Chains A and B, each alone.
Chain A
C-alpha cells in the first residue's frame, strides 16, 4: 500500500484544477457585488474564459481517469469511509462539469455569448430568455455553494487522514514526496 502514489498526470491535473477552481470561486463570489463598470465586464469575461478552461480540463481529466485507476485505498480503512470518499469524488467530478455548463447556458439565456479568450465563440445553446437566465444564474450559484460545502468536507477529510489517521492519503497526491 505504502509508496503507491497518484501518477504525475493525475497530480498535475488535480492541483491545476484545484487552483483554477478556487480562483473561480473567489472571483465569482466577489465579482457579482462590483458596481457596474468596464472593470466588472472585464472580470466577468475573465471568469467565463477561466470557467470554460476548467470545463475543458475536467473533460481531459475524466478521459484520462477512465483509463487510469487511482491507487487503492489503505486496507485498514472502514467501508463507510471508502464509500464516502468515492461518493464525494463522483460528486466533485459531477459539479466540475455541471458548474461551467450552467455558466455557459446562463450566458446564452442572458444573451451574452461566451467567446473563449475573446477569440473562440462558443455556440449559444439557448435562445435569449430573461427568466430562464435568472433561473440558471440561481442554479449556477446553488451548485457553487454545494461545491464549497463538498470541498470543505474533501479538504477536511484529507487533513484528517494526514494529521489524525496519519496515513499517506494526502501525501500520495502531493506534487512533492512527503515523509510518511
Chain B
C-alpha cells in the first residue's frame, strides 16, 4: 500500500487550497514523538572493496515534521559515539581510538538541521550541520516520508567522506584499504505529536 502513498500526498497537495479552508490535509498530523526502538542509524563502509555494515546502538532524535508544511520541519540527532558497532569486536575496539572517532575527547556527534524542503512526491531534503570529532560541516540528505500504521517513517541516506572529519587518520588515511566514502542511512519512526 505504501506504493500509493506518493500519489496520495500529491493529491493532497493538489487539493491543498480546497482543504486549507477546512483546516485539514490528507496527511494531517505533525510528527514529533520519535520511537527509538524502531529507529535505526546505520552506515556502510568499504574495506578492500567489500561493503561492511555498521550501526549506532544509541542515538537521540528530536524532530518535528508536518508534511503539509515541510519547510517548518526540523531535526536534531545526537549520537553516542561509544555505542558504535563497526562490524566486529576488533573494529569496535579500534574505531573508538584517537585515529578514528577519538570517543574520549568527542563522545558525541550531532546533526542539526537548518532547512527542509519538498522535492515532490514523498521525497524531501534536509540540510544541516554535521559535527563529528569536533569538525562541523554542512550536509544535505534526501529522504522519503511515509505513513505506516499512524506513524511516520523517515528514511534516507547520504554519503560522507570520512577524511573530511578526520575519521581514520595516520596509516588509516590510505583510502585504498578503507574507502573514503561512507554511506549513512537513517530510518526514523515517529508518532504524531500529542
Contacts and interface: CB of A to CB of B under 8 A. Distances in A.
Interface of A: 36-38, 41-42, 45, 110-115, 118-119, 121, 128, 130
A36 B48 CA distance: 14
13 contacts: A36-B94, A38-B172, A38-B174, A41-B177, A111-B53, A112-B50, A112-B52, A113-B51, A115-B49, A115-B50, A118-B50, A128-B53, A130-B88
Nearest to A49: B48
B177 A110 contact: no
A118 B94 contact: no
A112 B87 contact: yes
B47 interface: yes
Contacts of A36: 90, 94
Given A38-B178, A41-B47, 11 more contacts: A36-B94, A38-B174, A41-B48, A42-B48, A111-B53, A111-B87, A112-B47, A112-B50, A113-B50, A114-B50, A115-B48
Nearest to B89: A130
Contacts of B21: none
A118 B88 contact: no
B48 A45 contact: yes
Contacts of B174: 38
How many chain B residues sit at the interface, stated as a range, is 10 to 19
Interface string B15-49: 00000000000000000000000000000000111
B88 A111 contact: yes
Contacts, number: 42
Interface of B: 47-53, 87-90, 94, 171-172, 174, 176-178
Given A38-B172, A38-B177, A41-B177, A110 B88 contact: yes
Contacts of B47: 41, 45, 112
B50 A38 contact: no
A111 B92 CA distance: 13
In this complex, the member of A41, A45, A121 whose beta carbon has the largest number of chain B beta carbons within 10 angstroms is A41
Nearest to A119: B49
A110 to B, nearest CB: 6
Contacts of A114: 50
A150 to B, nearest CB: 31
Contacts of B52: 111-112
A114 B51 CA distance: 10
A130 B47 CA distance: 19
B171 A37 contact: yes
Contacts of B50: 45, 112-115, 118, 121
Nearest to A118: B49
A37 to B, nearest CB: 6
Nearest to B94: A36
